Every structure is written in structure tokens, then in C-alpha cells.
Amino acid sequence: MNKKIAVIGSGFSSLAAASYLAKDGAEVHVFEKNDSIGGRARQFKAEGFTFDMGPSWYWMPDVFERFFNDFGKSASDYYQLDKLDPAYSVYFGKDDYITIGDSLEKIYKVFDEKEKDGAQKLKKFIDEARDNYDIAIKDLVYKPGLSPLELVTPKTIKKLGQFFGNISNDVDKEFENEQLRQILKFPVLFLGAKPSATPSFYNFMNFADFGLGTWHPKGGFFQVISAMESLAKSLGVTLQTNANIEEILVENAKAVGISVNGEQHKFDVVLSGADYHHTETLLPQTYRQYSEEYWKKKVFAPSSLLFYLGINGKIEGLNHHNLFFDTDFEQHAKEIYTDPKWPTAPLFYANFTSKTDSNTAPEGMENAFFLVPLAPGLEDTDELREEYYEKIMERFNEITGINIKDKVIFKRSFCVNDFVNDYNSYKGNAYGMANTLLQTAFLRPKLKSKKLKNMYFTGQLSVPGPGVPPSLISGKLVSQLIQKN
Ligand SMILES: Cc1cc2nc3c(=O)[nH]c(=O)nc-3n(C[C@H](O)[C@H](O)[C@H](O)COP(=O)(O)OP(=O)(O)OC[C@H]3O[C@@H](n4cnc5c(N)ncnc54)[C@H](O)[C@@H]3O)c2cc1C
């Protein structure tokens, strides 16, 4: 392909698309507004600690592998991948937690201990989830979302009912133990909506969780970004940081270039991996496809309050990934989706990468990352952040008996305002637009502009949806559309 292409943003979707396009012969230039690449998956280092700023759960290793295979490579050419055992722990109260191991056999055992016929019920549930994973990965997610017909295959027709049921009902019907129910509803939170708004078919995330396992790229998630940077550069892609795109240039209903840091540059194609809503604001009003009303009505994935902490000392008894589900899941979900406000009693996630990866903290210390999901668009002040810091530190102490607050020697917070300022994120969403029934596949914002020639979009607000694996797939899909044009 003999085209000069501008790619806005350097998140997973942009980097993936850039490599596919360069491989096909295009001259590709990536422009990133921030001073480092990776988008939501940026990394920062401070006082000897290394922090991934966003993703930490490496799920669906097959999707990453397939990406690198497309270039005659393997993930192992770039980074070492370790399967975590245990995968994670879920806390329900003091001395009350469930640990998920690295194999289905281990997990069946836990289910049997917690519920009569638990293993048998889980086996049935996971068989269905595996089947759906197979269909989703082979038949559905690699489709560009151009038409509803993409979803119609002999296999999906048989599953039609599963697009109208929801995960929450399915889990509650099959399992009685409240803790097991919550663990089974956890994976679909990655899709951005609450389990009662997520179609049953998406139980393939349960297979991703229990069946495929939780992995860790040695050195941190940013190793994947570095791998993609090496790959892109080896294919001739140029990457420019501190390059803020202020405008997409249009002539005769065609995207013809970009304005970056006050300078105009001509391109044959413009592809944006920045948040879709923001990208449209870079276009003249008449060429925007979706109104403010449209965006307002959409279900967005939560925003987050994050704390990156350097801990002086080792933390015993916890795992790499720890979920604190000791408060009311439904109440918190309501405060994210139905009645947006700062949560009364937040569920939270605590990550200690250094538990399994000593490279990420100085010797004898741990790096920690706490995450509280929040409704997008909430008021964000230093006082609110601090109030919630105190809340979660106290809860962490009560439940685990570990007082880490006194050992904190480095602390940085990140919240709604940072998502807006750093990523031009709509309402400060952390991971895009949710996958609900009405926001699936062809019902999502389009990869190819309907109004403007040579203008394309990719990333977590588009097809197929939020998360790192879908962002890689999104980059592939959009590059195929550009190649076809
Ligand atoms: C806290 C957090 C935890 C997460 N955890 C996980 C996880 O464990 N597992 C998982 O799979 N996923 C996780 N995700 C989701 C995952 O990180 C995202 O889905 C994915 O990284 C999105 O990639 P993207 O390419 O769509 O967008 P982004 O990464 O947002 O990239 C868009 C880029 O565009 C740039 N940009 C914006 N405007 C402009 C402009 N005008 N000019 C130039 N550049 C611009 C931005 O700076 C950004 O770098 C998490 C996300 C967050 C925030």
C-alpha cells in the first residue's frame, strides 16, 4: 500500500494498527500528545519503583500471541510471560477470602468446598464459557462491525438466547454461594458494564479467567508496549511524543492531514486511536458522526481512583492481584451506573507486582497499586482523593491486619481529572465504552467514518471494545479496512 498515514495516539490499538499498515507498505507516523508512549498502559518510575499506570491483568494470551504471529514473531521474542499461581485472591472480610489457582482442577476444588456440587456446576458453566470463547475468538471479535450479518453464523444462531440473557441471572441461577457468585461476576467487569447489563454470551470471559489463566509479562505490562514499539520501528513506523494533534484537516469531505503543535502536515489517511469522542471534536462540526446526546446516552466503563504506592518493607500473605469484595457489590455498581456518586463503601483492587516480579521495586520493598472504580464524570478534588485513600487504607488494614500506610514512602494518585487531561478521555472514563447488548459489534461507533473519506478510528470506544486484547484486535480490524480502501 503506497499511502502516507497519520496515527493519532500510541495506545495498544494505535500501535497495533501502525504495525499492520507499515507491514503492508504504508508510510506510518504515530503522534502521541504525552511525553511517553503506551496511552492508558504507560509506565512511570519513581524512587526505584516501577509502576504500570493502567492494565495489570494479562488475560487471553492467545490474542497477544496471534498479534505477534501476524508478523512472524512470538510474544516470547520480546518478553517473558509467567503464569501466576495463585492467579488472585478475593477478600470478603477479615480472614475470609478465596484464592484462585492457576488450573481448573484447583478451582473446581475450591468450588466444591464452598458449595454442594460446586465443581460439577462450575464444570458445566465453564464448558459453555469455553464454547463461547471459541466462537467469540474465531467467529466474532475479528469482524469489523460493519453489519449485523457478521454476527450470524450457524454457531451463533444456536446461541441467540444468550444475547438476551445476562451474566448476573445465569450465575445466580446456577450458584447459591454468594462469594462464588461474586467471583463469577468479576471477569465481565472488564467489559465495562455491570453483570446484569452484560449479555450471557460474554461468559467467555469466565473461560479467559479460569480456563486460560492470569499471566504476567516480566518487568510489567509496559513490556508489551515496548515490544510493540520495537516491532513498529522495525517495520519503519516513526513515533513522535509530545505531539498534540489540535485539528484534523479536511478538504472536499476528505481527511487530508493533521495540525500538530501548530504545524500542518498532509497525509493520505488519518487514523485516530485517541478516545473517539475527543477525535470527533478535532473535526469540523459537519463531519462529526455522533452528537453530544449520543455520547451522553451511552454506557461508559467506569473511571477510577488510583494510588501508586512505594512501600518500605515486604508485605506478607497477599498475592500479586487482590480484590476486596467485602462490601455491597450491588450498591457500588448502582453508584457507578445508575446513581453516579462517590461510593459509600467501595470495592477495591490492590496490586503488588513486586510479589512475583522483584524488578519492579527496590530490594526489601513492594510496589503497590490500588484501584477504586468510579462513575465517569464525577467531581474530582484532592480532598476527595485523600478521603478515599484513608478509607481504603483503613479497610485494607482491618481485613488483612497489615498497616501499609505507615510504610508508604512514595505516593501518587490518578483520577477523573487526570484521565481527561492526560488522555482526552470522555468524562474521564478509564477503559472506554462498555460492551452491553446495544453496544456490541455493529452497534458500536464505527471504525470507518461514515461522513469523511480517509478518516478512521480505532481503540476501546470502537470495535470490538474495552481491554487490551480487544484494542489489539481493533488495530488489526481498522488496518484491514484501510487496506481494502
Ligand atoms: C487503570 C486501568 C486499568 C486497566 N486494567 C486493564 C487490565 O488489567 N487488563 C486489560 O486488558 N485492560 C485493562 N485496562 C484497559 C486497557 O488499558 C485499555 O483498554 C487499552 O489500553 C486502551 O488502548 P487504546 O489504544 O484504545 O487507548 P489509549 O491507551 O487511551 O490510547 C490513546 C492515546 O491517544 C492519545 N491522545 C489523545 N488525544 C490525543 C491528541 N489530541 N493528540 C495526540 N495523542 C492523543 C492519548 O494520550 C493516548 O496515549 C485498564 C485501563 C485502565 C485505565
Res 389: pLDDT: 98
Q: 437 versus 246: which is more confidently predicted?
A: 246
Ligand 1 center to 221 CA (angstroms): 13
Q: What is the pLDDT of residue 476?
A: 98
The closest-lying atom of ligand 1 relative to the alpha carbon of residue 371 is 1
SS (H, E, C) the chain: CCCEEEEECCCHHHHHHHHHHHHCCCEEEEECCCCCCCHHHCEEEECCEEEECCCCCECCHHHHHHHHHCCCCCHHHCCCEEECCCCEEEEEECCEEEEECCCHHHHHHHHHHHCCCHHHHHHHHHHHHHHHHHHHHHHHCCCCCCCHHHHCCHHHHHCHHHHCCEHHHHHHHHCCCHHHHHHHHCHHHHHCCCHHHCEHHHHHHHHHHHHHCCEEECCCCHHHHHHHHHHHHHCCCEEECCCCEEEEEEECCEEEEEEECCEEEECCEEEECCCHHHHHHCCCHHHCCCCHHHHHHCCECCEEEEEEEEECCCCCCCCCEEEECCCCHHHHHHHHHCCCCCCCCCCEEEECHHHCCHHHCCCCCEEEEEEEEECCCCCCCHHHHHHHHHHHHHHHHHHHCCCCHHHEEEEEEECHHHHHHHHCCHHHCCCCECCCHHHCHHHCCCCECCCCECEEECCCCCCCCCCHHHHHHHHHHHHHHHHHC
Q: Is residue 225 lining ligand 1, measured as CB closer than 6 Å?
A: no
Looking at residue 151, what is its pLDDT?
85
* Percent of the chain predicted with pLDDT > 90: 94
Beta carbons of 56 and 353 less than 8 angstroms apart: yes
Kindly state if the Cβ of 39 falls inside 6 Å of ligand 1: yes
192 lines ligand 1 (CB under 6 A): no
> According to the model, what pLDDT value does residue 427 have?
98
Residue 255 has pLDDT above 90, yes or no: yes
Q: Which amino acid is at 123?
A: K
CA distance 267 to 287: 18
**Long-range contacts, stretch 156-165, CB < 8 angstroms, 24+ apart:** 159/132, 159/135, 159/201, 161/200, 162/132, 162/199, 162/200, 162/201, 162/203, 163/199, 163/200, 163/201, 163/437, 163/440, 164/199, 164/200, 164/437, 165/199, 165/200
Give the pLDDT mean for 242-257: 98
**How many angstroms separate the most distant Cα atoms in the chain?**
67
Confidence bin at 484 (pLDDT 50/70/90): very high
pLDDT tens digit string along 286-297? 999 999 999 999
Ligand 1 in reach of 31 Cβ (< 6 A): yes
373 lines ligand 1 (CB under 6 A): no
**How confident is the model at residue 158, as a pLDDT?**
87
Q: Which residue's C-alpha comes closest to atom 22 of ligand 1?
A: 460
pTM of the model: 0.97
Burial 235-274 (b: 16+ CB within 10 A, else e): bebebeeebebeebbbeeebbbbbebeeeeeebbbbbbbb
Apex 199 CA angle, 156 and 442, nearest 5: 65
* Ligand 1 pocket, residue 460 CB under 6 Å: yes
What is residue 259's predicted lDDT score, i.e. its pLDDT?
A: 98
Q: Is the pLDDT of residue 331 over 90?
A: yes
In short, whether 57's Cβ falls inside 6 Å of ligand 1 is: yes
CA nearest ligand 1 atom 16, residue? 467
Q: Give the residue whose CA is nearest to atom 7 of ligand 1.
A: 55
Residue 138 has what pLDDT? Answer: 82
**What's the N-to-C CA distance of the chain in angstroms?**
10
What would the pLDDT profile of 82-127 be if each residue is shown by its tens digit?
999 999 999 999 999 999 999 999 999 999 999 999 999 999 999 9
pLDDT level of residue 34 (50, 70, 90 thresholds): very high
pLDDT the model gives residue 153: 87
Give me the mean pLDDT over the 15-32 stretch.
Answer: 98
Report, as an integer, the average pLDDT of 227-254: 98
> Is the pLDDT confidence value at 220 over 90?
yes
Q: What confidence score (pLDDT) does residue 160 get?
A: 83
Which domains, ranges and CATH numbers included, belong to the chain?
4-71+220-297+432-484 (3.50.50.60), 105-209 (1.10.405), 300-423 (3.30.519)
pLDDT at residue number 467:
96
Model pLDDT, residue 279? 98
User: Cα(327) to centroid of ligand 1, in Å?
Assistant: 28
Cβ–ligand 1 contact at 423 (below 6 Å): yes
pLDDT in tens, 145-200: 999 989 888 888 888 888 889 999 999 999 999 999 999 999 999 999 999 999 99
Q: Is 49 touching ligand 1 by the criterion CB < 6 Å?
A: no
